[in-house]
Structure 1
Amino acid sequence: MGQLYEVKFMSKLYRKWFFPFVLPAVAVFLIVVLIPFVIGIFYSFTGWRGSFFLGPNGRTTNPFEAFLGLKNYIAAFKQESFRSAFFFSVKFTVLAVIAVNVVALAQALLVNAIGKAVGIFRATFFLPNLLGGLSLGFIWLFIFNNIFTKVLFGKEGLIPIKFLTYMTDKDPNKLLFAILIMAVWQMSGYMMIIYTTGLANISDDYYEAASIDGANAFQKFFKITIPMLMPSFTIVFFLVLSRCFMLLDQNIALTNNAPQGYRMLAAQVLKVTSDTNGNYGIAQAEAVIFFLVIAAISITQTVILKGKEVEMQ
């Protein structure tokens, strides 16, 4: 009876104080996130210049007089810088999804097979994920410019072969692999945790039955491990996909403020105002397009994961 009374009392207390405690968080979300987001979408259809609007009839302070319809979106897709940033992001994301999954799965299998000191290896692999984007970018900028170029693969280094000199020999493809190496180093440890959890949920009975039937290690891996890890693979796939599209700080740090031709999509949205002489309307249109891409990825992830949950039930 005492426990039942306590549960009822706490439930009544939560209902009483729920809205007073939630209201400040809701107010902050509305003021900082939702309202500016809606205003930003509206501004993407206008000739917004930051401090004024430029419409068909000239300069004005009334946004409705500067309404341009879809002209900003059309102008965004006509920009060479936006198209190159978009396809640069797509190429990087495709490579990153493959590389991060392979490395993370290899780390999970390694950690799962060690047995002893598993926590140390998990923490070591996971540690790069805790670094901030700018600090991570500057760390790898130092590694590429000094360790790779001058020490290991420079003319005065141990091996007289230039491997990666993207800052001295500008090349988007070299930059692409530079960001890829950094992204794999950062993300693989976090994704390893997901794969480790998936491996822990696979019963040893499957492997014992396969051994009795004479299956070798490769057959066990491709016939048991991979199919049983598909829910984990789905989670990792969409996490890497969304995080790679949103990559910003690392790109800016590695490329010295991301000049045109070396930008990811997020950096392009940040830099477009300088390319268009302060046309914030086009910048906002590109930001909305960027949001729609991320939203599509997130919604697809949610739908697929819910489908997996239904199948497992």
Structure 2
Amino acid sequence: MSGYYKKWFWPLALPGLILFAAVVLVPFLIGLFYSFTSWRGTYFVGGSAWSSFVGLDNYTRIFQSRQFLHALLYTLEFTALAVISISAAGLLLALLLDYAGKRVALFRTVFFLPNLLGGLALGFIWQFIFQNVFNRMFGEGGLNIEFLTNMTQDSTKNLFALVIMVTWQMAGYMMIIFVAGLNNIPRDLYEAGSLDGANAWTKFRYITLPMLMPSITIVLFLTLASCLKLLDQNVALTNGSFNTSMLSLQILRTVRYTQPPDYGQAQAQAVVFFVLVAIIGLIQVYITKKKEVDA
């Protein structure tokens, strides 16, 4: 059987590799080159790609840009809060499903449904909720909680509004991953823990969490990547107003609000964005994979 796979590996893998190179690798390399040029989208300053070569000027300019640095910090702050919130909510839902009995399939479906909504649709739905429902419920005449009013019109408040929105959207998806991990934990371990006098918290800390590390690795990677790259929800909720632009929207705005459109600078921002996502993702996988070995 191994000889069969060795024989047919390259013929079967080659179409996928060609497609990956054509759609992902080649455009990425071209974009990387463009980040070192004065590219304007339809032409190069100076007439050709080589004559428009500016070296590291685009990268120097973006790190001198207050808008880019604010978007970078805002994205990191949101990601840190959202990853914790989504992971905790997904794990809590998964643990609660252990007590759902025959209704577990219904609850899985209900909790997963928000993940099927598109980013723009989701953003507009929650824009209505924050601007109408929250303002009436928590404003004057309601519970009078000022922080929960006008959440889309303040940079700090909007940070938490985005966290609430993406947690509602993604927690059900992460719940499914955690449920699969929980189902793979041998029940004998819990029985042995009970015989040794372990309480619920002790079982969770020393049995459930270590055995869930493979699922936690997947959940953290998915949430980190999704939150760092968030765009549609940011556009629909505030469109970057009130200093709420995240990195993806900042790159889009660089093209729209520079005349002529400075695609070279935007591409440099995209390269920095890629490096940031890759480094954070690799560090997270490395750390959680080590925990899997320890478990």
What is the TM-score of this pair, normalised by structure 1? 0.84
Distance 2:248 2:227 in 1: 10
Find the counterpart in structure 2 of residue 77 from structure 1. 63
Secondary structure in structure 2 of the residue aligned to 1:49: coil
Amino acid at match of 2:115: N
Describe how 1:161-172 pairs up with structure 2 within 5 A. Answer: 161-162=145-146, 163-167=148-152, 170-172=153-155
Paired residues of 1:238 and 1:297 also in contact (CA < 8 A) = no
Moved more, 291-300 or 73-82: 291-300
What is the TM-score of this pair, normalised by structure 2? 0.88
2:27 maps to 1:36: yes
Residue from 84, 93, 96 that aligns with 2:82: 96
Distance 2:269 2:117 in 1: 28
Find the counterpart in structure 1 of residue 230 from structure 2. 247
Find the counterpart in structure 1 of residue 105 from structure 2. 119
Against the structure 1 CA distance between its residues 274 and 260, is the aligned structure 2 distance closer, same or farther, given a 3 Å change threshold? farther
**Deviation of the 1:65 alpha carbon:** 0.8
Find the counterpart in structure 1 of residue 181 from structure 2. 198
Residue from 244, 268, 274 that aligns with 1:262: 244
Larger Rg, first or second structure (1 or 2): 1
**Deviation of the 1:308 alpha carbon:** 6.7
The alignment covers a number of residue pairs equal to 291
Paired residues of 1:126 and 1:189 also in contact (CA < 8 A) = yes
For structure 2, the 5+ residue unaligned runs are: none
Paired residues of 2:82 and 2:166 also in contact (CA < 8 A) = yes
Find the counterpart in structure 2 of residue 154 from structure 1. 139
Find the counterpart in structure 1 of residue 117 from structure 2. 131
Find the counterpart in structure 1 of residue 263 from structure 2. 280
Distance 1:280 1:135 in 2: 28
2:73 maps to 1:52: no
CA displacement 1:87-107 (0-9 Å, x = unmatched): 001001111111111111110
Distance 1:217 1:223 in 2: 10
Distance 1:219 1:30 in 2: 49
Amino acid at match of 1:125: F
Against the structure 1 CA distance between its residues 164 and 124, is the aligned structure 2 distance closer, same or farther, given a 3 Å change threshold? same
Against the structure 1 CA distance between its residues 106 and 305, is the aligned structure 2 distance closer, same or farther, given a 3 Å change threshold? closer
Distance 2:212 2:23 in 1: 39
Secondary structure in structure 2 of the residue aligned to 1:113: coil
CA displacement 1:221-267 (0-9 Å, x = unmatched): 22221222122112211211111001000000000x22372111111
Paired residues of 2:154 and 2:242 also in contact (CA < 8 A) = no
Distance 1:298 1:160 in 2: 40
Amino acid at match of 1:126: F
Distance 2:59 2:30 in 1: 16
Distance 1:103 1:302 in 2: 20
Distance 1:171 1:254 in 2: 12
Against the structure 1 CA distance between its residues 75 and 229, is the aligned structure 2 distance closer, same or farther, given a 3 Å change threshold? same
For structure 1, the 5+ residue unaligned runs are: 55-59
Against the structure 1 CA distance between its residues 64 and 164, is the aligned structure 2 distance closer, same or farther, given a 3 Å change threshold? same
Identity %: 49
